[in-house]
Amino acid sequence: MVGFDRFLPGPELVPPGFQWLGGPLFLLGLVVTIVARAQFARARTNIYTFRQPDHLVTDGLFRFTRNPMYLGFSLALTGLAVFLGSTPAMLCAVAYLVISDRWYIAFEENMMRARFGEAYLRYARRTRRWL
């Protein structure tokens, strides 16, 4: 993203006086990602996208979102994009969000349905994909 921002400059979307707001958003995204990663580790479940999950995690951050790691990454990238303030940076953040939602998360949800059946369907009904 920083490379796009530096080598493909575009119009500024965030005024320079407001770019600092990206810092707290970036840090929040990192914290959410780290906490979600720790929850996966405590549950001793697979964290890799294209490998079968071992356990259905529904507590902690997973009570509020089915995808706290993708949410954390998205917040961090959006924070970085706001800090950089440029159109290319914002487009990178949006591209990550769309690709995550339409491809990675959709793939993982199909695996979760196949692996955990009704337990996953109940969880998905009561917990939003993002927030």
Nearest to 77 by CA among 21, 125, 30: 30
For 1-47, how does the pLDDT look when each residue is reduced to its tens digit (9 = 90+)? 667 666 766 778 888 889 999 999 999 999 999 999 999 999 999 99
Give the HSE-up count for residue 8: Cα atoms under 13 Å, Cβ half-sphere: 10
Amino acid at site 62: F
DSSP string across 33-83 = HHHHHHHHHHHT----TTS--SS---SGGGGT-S-HHHHHHHHHHHHHHHH
Q: Against a cut of 0.75, is the pTM above it?
A: yes
DSSP 20: G
Task: Note the pLDDT tens digit of each residue in 53-92.
Answer: 999 999 999 999 999 999 999 999 999 999 999 888 999 9
